Amino acid sequence: MLGTDLDADEFRAMIRGFLRAAPRPTGLRNYGPTPTADDVEPGRIWHKYLLEHGYACLHWPVVHGGSDAPVLAQAIFAEECAYADVPRQLAMTGIDLVGPVLIEYGSTEQQARYLEPLRTGDHIWTQLFSEPGAGSDLAAVRTKAAQTSNGWRVDGQKVWSSGAISAKYGLLLARTGTESHRGLSMFIVPMAAEGVRVEPIVQIDGESKFNEVFLDGVELAADALIGKIGQGWNIAMLTLGRERLTLGTQAVGMFKRHERMVDAACSRGRLDPVLARSMTRIWARMWLLRFTWQRAVADGDLSSPAFSVLKLMTSETDRDLGDLATDVLGTDVCTDPSTEQDGAELVHAMLVGRAQTILGGTSEIQRNILGERVLKLPKEPR
């Protein structure tokens, strides 16, 4: 069923039936790629249910307990979870980013130790890449890992670390040399280690998924290094790209939200010709993206430039759709959405929509990548 001869319609119908019948743990909500601290327990029970039925780590190789599923199957599963309003796994960072890193670059011991608890949903990981002075320009990372007689000593600060408050381990990009890219190495950090301090950040929507992580004299064993010294940049690049699979689920969310927007505008008598035109334009963009997405996942190559175009356009369309909330609801509701349920959901989506054009590479960086690597335009002056 999950091989290259996948019958997409049959698979979709099977997943839809499975999700419809699946018992929902108390407190489970569709929290997106990262659970808040309160989401972890229901999310874990849900993950284990998916695992029992063979739907965890679809993209991992069979030898590590995955299904080696084609991109199309992964995309259909993610979309159906979005339709059913449930998360597709406990947390994205560990399974989608760290798993493939350990499978490609981890030692046999690291694979044996870390992959299984990731697969079973027992361990959450956080990605410790971004710093106050290093985001788009990731090679500017300054957190330092100095070699000691029996391992490493880490000092520095990370920021925007999703899920760090619930994480057992962090995937850390740190500086081990002076050369910009080749001076970077990748490490595993136990989040309970002495010298690691996690400070949650409260977001604009009131939730807290982000954190600051302070690393003060953190001692790591020699086997905390992933791959070789200086290989950190190459390893980091492997983690970028998998996030693209969330684009399909984002699209499902957009269609649902567009419908709610139209209902809210009609029931409030706000659907004037100007708003109707804006809504139709966005709806047309959503369909164009859906067709491009369907072609791209059917081709099955996650490194195709189509996914960069989709990342750019989907996140900007999502943001623009969210922004319509001010026209649909009026600015008063936007400043105090607490009294109206449908309004609150739309305002929440508007606020969360700001993140989409930043995470996994900002829109400006996506445009640079498309211009330089795909269209072969001259490189930006550096």
Ligand X SMILES: Cc1cc2nc3c(=O)[nH]c(=O)nc-3n(C[C@H](O)[C@H](O)[C@H](O)COP(=O)(O)OP(=O)(O)OC[C@H]3O[C@@H](n4cnc5c(N)ncnc54)[C@H](O)[C@@H]3O)c2cc1C
Q: Where are the alpha helices (DSSP H) in the chain?
A: 8-21, 40-52, 71-84, 92, 99-105, 108-119, 232-239, 246-267, 273-299, 305-323, 325-329, 331-335, 341-356, 363-369
CA 175-311-174 angle, to 5 degrees, is 5
Binding pattern for the stretch 57-96 against ligand X, x by CB under 6 A and - elsewhere: ------------------------------------x---
Q: Does 130 bind ligand X (CB under 6 A)?
A: yes
Q: Pick from 67, 89, 110, 127: which binds ligand X (CB under 6 A)?
A: 127
45-53, 177-185, 341-349, 364-372 -> range binding ligand X (CB under 6 A): 364-372
Crossing angle (nearest 10°) for helices 246-267 and 273-299 = 160
Question: Applying CB under 6 A, which of residues 107, 136, 147, 148 lies at the interface with ligand X?
Answer: 136
Rounded distance between C-alpha atoms, residue 325 and residue 309, angstroms: 25
Residue 250 makes contact with ligand X by CB under 6 A: no
Of residues 194, 243, 345, 380, which has the active-site annotation? 243
Q: Give whichever of 135 and 227 is closer to ligand X, judged by the CB atom.
A: 135
Cβ 10 to ligand X shortest distance, Å:
34
Specify whether 10 is catalytic.
Answer: no
Stretch of 52-60, 123-131, 229-237, 314-322 lying at the interface with ligand X (CB under 6 A): 123-131
Amino acid, res. 64? H
Distance of CA 326 to CAs 17, 212, 275, 283, 334, Å?
37, 31, 11, 17, 6
Q: Which stretch binds ligand X (CB under 6 A): 7-15, 63-71, 112-120, 128-136?
A: 128-136
161 binds ligand X (CB under 6 A): yes
Could you say which of 67, 162, 166, 250 contacts ligand X (CB under 6 A)?
A: 162
| First-residue to last-residue Cα distance in the chain | 49
Q: Is 47 left (phi over 0), alpha (psi -120 to 50) or beta?
A: alpha
| 139 near ligand X, rule: CB under 6 A | no
Choices 43-51, 63-71, 130-138, 174-182; region in contact with ligand X by CB under 6 A: 130-138
Among 22, 271, 358, 370, binds ligand X (CB under 6 A): 358
Minimum distance, C-beta of residue 343 to ligand X, in the bound complex (Å) = 23
Left if phi > 0, otherwise alpha if psi is -120 to 50, otherwise beta: which for 57?
left
Site membership for ligand X, residue 365 (CB under 6 A): yes
Give the amino acid at 334.
C
Nearest Cα to Cα of residue 269 among 321, 326, 325, 328: 328
Choosing from 60, 160, 187, 233, the residue that interacts with ligand X (CB under 6 A) is: 160
- For binding to ligand X (CB under 6 A), which residues are involved? 93, 126-127, 129-130, 135-136, 160-162, 355, 358-359, 362, 364-365, 368, 380
The catalytic residue positions are: 243
